[in-house]
Amino acid sequence: MKLATLRTSSGTRAVRRDGDLLVDLGYADLGAWLAAGSPAAPAGATTWPVAGADFAPVVPHPAKVICVGHNYTNHIREMGRELPSYPTLFTKFADSLIGADDPLRAPAEAPDIDWEVELVIVIGQEVRRATESQAEAAIAGFTVMNDISMRDWQFRTVEWTQGKIWEASTPVGPYLVSPDEVGGVRPALRVSTTVDGEIVQSDDTGTLLFDPVTLVRYISTITTLRPGDLIATGTPGGVGHARDPKVYLRPGQTVVAAIDGLGACTTLVEAG
């Protein structure tokens, strides 16, 4: 099942993809639909064509966006760090999120803009201190994020948050895809990033140090996870900041963060 939050002339709607159509699920967005228990679409639901659809962030107003750093071995090594014993966590705000095809306005204050393709877990059930089976059941599905990072701000201090939370900087979507369509709750999916058609990142989510179930168990020990919460699982090697010389995104470039079976975030960088 593929689900999304669609922008329409009368506001956003939670939708299910059915072939070439998007079927209204009866709620304003996927966060509200998940919180209601993921009910079936009402009889005679309104539909919209997939072609030309304007996708909002897959969950526009998540209560929590929790991100994991240092979760692919090759990325950890290119950044010159040791393999961690525990997940490295930081957070984003809902105001950071944009739709999968929305442009990114490059902030004049932050010229060192980097790309980071990430598999994102979408929580479908409330869970705290999850067992293995509870963590598996809590995963509604997966989506794509490009964790755009303002590296000059990120590395001003040893704490990363200020480089990760810029407003309207983080594409996420277009679809929430249920685990049954991608091989379960520990999927092995190719992830990639291209900049103006050149491949800059390529890896497989099967190589994550901390897999989705492990992350749900770990994070739910700290705080209650609720329907619509997002967990970004980290990025593989190939980021611009780790190159010699360093490479950053510039206005006029197009960056595509893609995951097989889930879709892609296609982002035009515009002058701020």
Q: Collect all residues with Cβ–Cβ distance below 8 Å to 49 and sequence separation of at least 6.
A: 20, 21, 22
Taking residues 71-81, report their average pLDDT. Answer: 79
**DSSP secondary structure, 221-258, as one string:** HHS-B-TT-EEE----S--GGGSSS---B-TT-EEEEE
Q: At residue 215, what are phi and psi to the nearest 5 degrees?
A: -65, -40
Burial 36-69 (b: 16+ CB within 10 A, else e): eebeebeeebeebebeebebbbbbbbbbbbbbbb
pLDDT tens digit sequence for 106-155: 999 999 999 999 999 999 999 999 999 999 999 999 999 999 999 999 99
Helix (H) or strand (E) holding 14: strand 11-18
For 12, the enclosing helix (H) or strand (E) is: strand 11-18
Spelled out in words, what is the top-level CATH class assigned to the domain 58-271?
A: alpha beta
Residue 83 confidence class, pLDDT cut points 50, 70, 90: confident
C-alpha to C-alpha distance for 175 and 59, rounded to whole angstroms: 10
Q: pLDDT-derived band of residue 161, with 50, 70 and 90 as boundaries?
A: very high
pLDDT at 81: 78
Amino acid (one-letter) located at 74: N
82 has a pLDDT exceeding 90: no
Report the alpha-carbon angle 156-162-166, nearest 5. 130
Least-confidence region, from 13-22, 61-70, 81-90, 220-229: 81-90
Strands (E), 20-166: 21-24, 47-49, 54-55, 65-69, 88-92, 97-98, 104-106, 113-114, 117-123, 139-146, 149-150
pLDDT of residue 219: 98
For residue 78, the model assigns a pLDDT of: 73
Provide the pairing of β-strand 254-259 with 190-195: antiparallel
pLDDT band at 97 (very low <50, low <70, confident <90, very high): very high
Task: Give me the mean pLDDT over the 222-245 stretch.
Answer: 96
- According to DSSP, residue 166 is labeled -
The confidence band for 79, taking pLDDT boundaries of 50, 70 and 90, is confident
Polymer length of the chain: 272
Q: In this model, does residue 74 exceed pLDDT 90?
A: no
Per CATH, the number for 1-56 is 2.30.30
Question: Mean pLDDT across the chain, nearest whole number?
Answer: 96
* Mean per-residue pLDDT, 6-24: 97
What is the pLDDT confidence band of residue 228, given thresholds at 50, 70 and 90?
A: very high
- The domains of the chain are located at 1-56, 58-271
User: Which residues have C-beta within 8 Å of that of residue 10, sequence separation ≥ 6?
Assistant: none
Whether residue 77 has pLDDT greater than 90: no
pLDDT at 109: 95
Helix (H, G, I), strand (E, B) or coil at 50: coil
